[in-house]
Every structure is written in structure tokens, then in C-alpha cells.
């Protein structure tokens, strides 16, 4: 069954957040990057104006700019009131308050919406869904996946996670996934079994601390690369 727009809570992070979540240094920013489950992040838009190369894949790109913009307006109050009801689940430092969080997220999503039509026609945004991606093997230097795998461990199965991680490893030479906790802040039960499968399949991996913690306790990313 296809993705239903009315089941999606649109959300998007910005370039600074991507840099922090994935520990991207100047060298990494120059790579040919795939952002998978990219959603309404402004990472692609902000990287493109800086002359970098990012391709964003997500099933949400089947919808029009207007449809996505409407869905943002419809869901924003619910999202922010959910955050207000769980203040202690978050670290309020870089993002100072729910209002500040809302401003930063809305600015990122607005940036995405402005870039989306041009990016679609340039092939920088493409409708694609894990666990089966288009693209040839090793097409990208680096694949990023934020707030999808492990986050939704209560809705997506362990085989889905395994197949998705291996598929990201197929299309990119290196893969980084953040965060490693579920939406409710628990360690994903799928992390350890998937690390074992990666080892069996001949991949190396590291669990790296990163300079990003908004969901309390969530400050580590998984980095996977070939032996």
C-alpha cells in the first residue's frame, strides 16, 4: 500500500542539525551524498546553494508542494503541543523552548518547500522508499538516514531494518544512521542484531558519539563502511 499523506507528521531539520547529527566535517560535505528518508529537511536546499551535491529520497515526494504545505499547517499545532506535554524528554539548549523549536522547524520546512519544485525537476528530490532503492551499486559516497530507521522500531520490523540498512550499504560506500533510540527514547531492540548481520555480511561499523542531543540520551550515530 502506498504512503498516505494524512498519516504523515511532516518534520524537517536544517543543515546545522545534519552536520551535528552525522558529524559531517568539511571533507564529508564535499562527497556525493544521499539523504534517505529525507522528508522536509532543508539539508538539500542549503547544501545546493553552497555548491555541494545532495540527492534526497523519500516516498513523500510523490505529493505536490501545496499538498505538503497544507499537511504542515494541519499537523503543526498537534506536534508542538505533543512536545510541550513531554518537555523533560528533550534537552533544551540549542533549541531553547517549544516555540523556538517550532520556529526552527518551520523555517527548515519553508526552505524545503521553496526548493522542492526546482529540486524535483533537477532530480535532487526523488520518490523512493526503503527497503528497495533505485540506483546502481556504490553510486553515492555517503548515505545519511535520520529519524526513520531505529526511530520507528515499534512500527517497522527487524527484517525491514536489516533489508534497509543493507540496501543503503548497496547504494553508498559509507552509511550513517541517526538516532539509535526509538521515538519513546528507548534503545532500539534491532540495533544489536543488525550489527551482528553487518559483521556477517563483511561490513565494519562504529557507534560514534555526536555533538547533537535533542531527544534526551540520543547522541550517537551508527557509521557503516566496507572492510
- Nearer to ligand SAM by C-beta: 23 or 59? 59
The interface with ligand SAM within residues 145-204 (CB under 6 A) comprises 146-148
**Hey, what's the cell of 48?**
545546493
Q: Which residue is nearest to ligand SAM (CB)?
A: 39
Binding characters for ligand SAM, 8-37, by CB under 6 A (x = yes) = x--xxx----------------------xx
Cα-Cα-Cα-Cα dihedral sign, residues 56, 59, 65, 68: negative
Give the nearest distance from C-beta 227 to ligand SAM in angstroms.
26
- Write the burial class of residue 110 (CB in 10 Å: 0-12 exposed, 13-18 middle, 19+ buried): middle
Based on the shown chain and the rule CB under 6 A, indicate whether residue 129 belongs to the binding site for ligand SAM. Answer: yes
Task: Please select the residue that binds ligand SAM; options are 19, 22, 34, 39, rule is CB under 6 A.
Answer: 39
**Hey, what's the cell of 63?**
505529493
- Nearer to ligand SAM by C-beta: 114 or 199? 114
Task: Please select the residue that binds ligand SAM; options are 31, 52, 59, 187, rule is CB under 6 A.
Answer: 59
Residue 220 CA to residue 201 CA, distance in Å, equals 23
Choose the stretch contacting ligand SAM; rule: CB under 6 A; options: 63-71, 73-81, 140-148, 182-190. 140-148
The footprint of ligand SAM (CB under 6 A) covers 8, 11-13, 36-39, 41, 58-60, 129-130, 146-148
Amino acid at each position: 500500500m502506498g504512503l498516505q499523506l494524512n498519516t504523515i507528521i511532516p518534520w524537517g531539520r536544517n543543515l546545522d542539525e545534519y552536520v551535528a547529527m552525522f558529524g559531517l566535517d568539511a571533507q564529508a560535505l564535499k562527497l556525493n551524498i544521499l539523504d534517505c528518508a529525507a522528508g522536509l529537511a532543508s539539508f538539500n536546499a542549503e547544501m545546493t546553494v553552497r555548491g555541494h551535491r545532495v540527492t534526497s529520497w523519500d516516498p513523500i515526494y510523490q505529493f505536490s508542494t501545496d499538498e505538503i504545505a497544507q499537511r504542515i499547517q494541519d499537523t503543526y499545532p498537534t506536534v508542538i503541543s505533543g512536545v510541550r506535554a513531554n518537555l523533560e524528554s528533550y534537552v533544551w539548549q540549542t533549541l531553547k523552548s517549544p516555540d523556538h523549536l517550532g520556529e526552527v522547524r518551520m523555517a527548515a520546512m519553508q526552505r524545503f518547500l521553496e526548493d522542492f519544485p526546482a529540486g524535483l525537476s533537477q532530480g535532487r528530490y526523488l520518490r523512493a522508499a526503503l527497503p528497495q532503492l533505485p540506483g546502481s551499486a556504490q553510486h553515492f559516497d555517503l548515505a545519511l538516514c535520520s529519524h526513520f530507521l531505529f526511530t520507528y522500531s515499534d512500527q517497522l520490523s527487524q527484517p525491514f531494518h536489516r533489508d534497509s540498512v543493507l540496501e543503503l550499504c548497496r547504494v553508498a560506500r559509507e552509511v550513517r544512521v541517526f538516532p539509535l533510540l526509538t521515538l519513546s527514547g528507548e534503545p532500539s531492540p534491532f540495533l544489536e542484531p543488525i550489527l551482528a548481520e553487518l559483521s556477517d555480511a563483511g561490513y565494519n561499523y562504529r557507534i560514534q558519539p555526536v555533538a547533537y542531543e535533542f531527544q534526551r540520551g540520543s547522541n550517537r550515530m551508527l557509521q557503516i563502511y566496507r572492510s
